[in-house]
Amino acid sequence: MGFIEDIKTVFERDPAARSVIEVLTCYPGLRAIWLHRIAHFLWKKGLRLPARMISEFSRFINGIEIHPGAQIGRRFFIDHGTGVVIGETTIIGDDCTLFQGVTLGGTGKEKGKRHPTLGNGVVVGAGAKVLGNITIGDNVRIGAGSVVVRSVPPNCTVVGVPGRIVRRREKRPKETILDHGNLPDPIVEMLRQLEEQINKLNKHLAEYDIQREDF
């Protein structure tokens, strides 16, 4: 059932998928997930070297690096996938999506849990980096190119370097995939607010000068 579910997930999240044969032969993200399941099984059995060898083989043929120790939930989808890196202690919930170039990595050489935990329904945009032992809540959207180094509560949208919350929702968003072309820019918004404050200040100064002249 897991294999069938994975194939259905591809059709649900990628409009370019046209046939089962195409999905089986032309989707490196799907191959990487299946090989990871084998490697993860061996890793849990204590067969660390064979597990690492499978993960290295997967990286070589798919361009996607998933450490065999990473824990990945159901209906996980990697879109395109080239350059995706998932660290050893990463935990990924159900229904998550990663785009190409995403890194779920650590921030140093510390031992133990040192990689992110992603809740259910998380979408991470192309080239984004999620670093350290942080928690990304359910249904969070992370914009392309963002660098997230702090935990994010559920139902938020994060963009920028470092990542900033630009949108909060009380419930799960309706969209299943992040609309990269319609994300607010926190820097532009901050500059806009600063411009408004400067214009108000200039207006008050002009009114003050007029009052002095009348006096």
List pLDDT tens digits, range 120-137: 999 999 999 999 999 999
What is the predicted pLDDT for the residue at 50?
A: 96
What is the predicted pLDDT for the residue at 64?
A: 95
pTM of the predicted model, to two decimals? 0.80
Distance of CA 186 to the CA centre of its chain: 18
List pLDDT tens digits, range 159-187: 988 888 888 876 665 555 666 656 666 66
What is the predicted pLDDT for the residue at 190?
A: 64
What is the predicted pLDDT for the residue at 174?
A: 56
What is the predicted pLDDT for the residue at 9?
A: 93
Are the CB atoms for 136 and 142 separated by under 8 Å?
Answer: yes
How large is the angle between the packed helices 48-62 and 28-44, nearest 10 degrees? 170
CA distance 192 to 48: 53
List pLDDT tens digits, range 50-67: 999 999 999 999 999 999
What is the predicted pLDDT for the residue at 122?
A: 95
